[in-house]
Structure 1
Amino acid sequence: MSTNGSQRIEVLVPMRWGDMDAYGHINNVQIVRMLEEARIAAFGPPRGAGAPGIDPHVSLFNDVPEGTMALVVDHKIRYVRTLEYRNVPAVVQVWIGAVKGASFDIHYLIQDPVTLEDCVRASSHLAFVDEATGRVQRLTPEQKERLAPFTA
């Protein structure tokens, strides 16, 4: 994982043989899985989700208070061109879009690992939610500060 000059986090996400559909490209359902893998690699797993692994580039989701869930509110996906199955990981760039009082956007660009052509442009709208009450929680100044270097 690396950060390029435009404050995007670059993650390599494996394409699996089973991700391929009958046409030889990555199935749209698997694209959502790839977005999730890139998001977790960039910003960490949700708190309490298994044993710690490799440290994320920006520790965001695993540093929330106990009882806080990081939930996806919405996904938007634009398939620019098919992502052909390759036996090498896809290149996924991840960055932060709009940061609001209680939610924020994560943007993604999935590129073909061989041609580096753009294949998928997507975004996920996320919010932190109190597990007990189901209420959305406002982002703390510390959370906003962690996101700031990666906000477009």
Structure 2
Amino acid sequence: MSQAPENALELNIELRWSDQDLMGHVNNARIMTLAEEARIRAMQQLQRTAGSDEPFEAVLRTSNTDFLAPIMYPGDCVVRIWVSKIGNSSFVMQHELSQNGKVAVTVEAVVVMFSSATQAPMQITDNVRKALESVSASSAR
């Protein structure tokens, strides 16, 4: 059953033939690639929501994956993604990867805002914070 709030972003990702393993399900390493693709697309959308030219530079700090059921090829994977926590320079993104209406994989990722100029973490700006809050679990209540 989905734990995603109503305001979670929902992205559809078409599975590729090369995503599958010998048993016909999506390989566990490819699952991480699907989560990464969804996270990047979500952050691009959030940057547009932030509505400024400021860079939305971020790096992945940690990622925890829970495999609940296989995702099978061929088909699509629906990824619901939302923010569960916002700190000073980092935030936590939750991912649900589903197929045929069933949650198959959950991913929790800690993402850190990062300055490529200084090569160090940077504070989350007000505009970025507002964009993150637009898809946070707490704002859906």
Judge same fold: TM > 0.5, yes or no: yes
Indicate whether 1:34 and 2:19 are aligned: no
Counterpart in the other structure of 2:109: 124
Amino acid at match of 2:102: E
More helix by share: 2
Using CA pairs below 8 Å that are at least 6 residues apart, which structure has the higher relative contact order? 2
Question: Is 2:48 aligned against 1:59?
Answer: yes
Secondary structure, counterpart of 2:134 in structure 1: helix
Structure 2 gaps of 5+ residues are none
The CA deviation at 1:65 is 3.6
Contact kept? 2:47, 2:128, Cα under 8 Å: no
| TM-score, with structure 1 as normaliser | 0.78
Alignment partners' CA distance in 2, 1:35 and 1:63? 26
Which aligned segments of 4 or more residues in structure 1 are displaced greater than 6 angstroms? Answer: none
- Give, in whole Å, the separation in 2 of the partners of 1:29 and 1:61: 31
TM-score by length of 2: 0.84
Aligned letter for 1:121? T
CA RMSD of aligned residues (A): 2.3
Name 1:53's counterpart in structure 2: none
Could you tell me how far apart the structure 1 residues matched to 2:89 and 2:46 are?
A: 22
Mark the CA change 1:60 to 1:40 in structure 2 (over 3 Å): closer, same or farther. farther
Q: Pairwise mapping of residues 1-150 of structure 1 onto structure 2 (< 5 A)?
A: 6-44=6-44, 56=45, 59=48, 65=54, 69-86=57-74, 88-112=75-99, 115-150=100-135
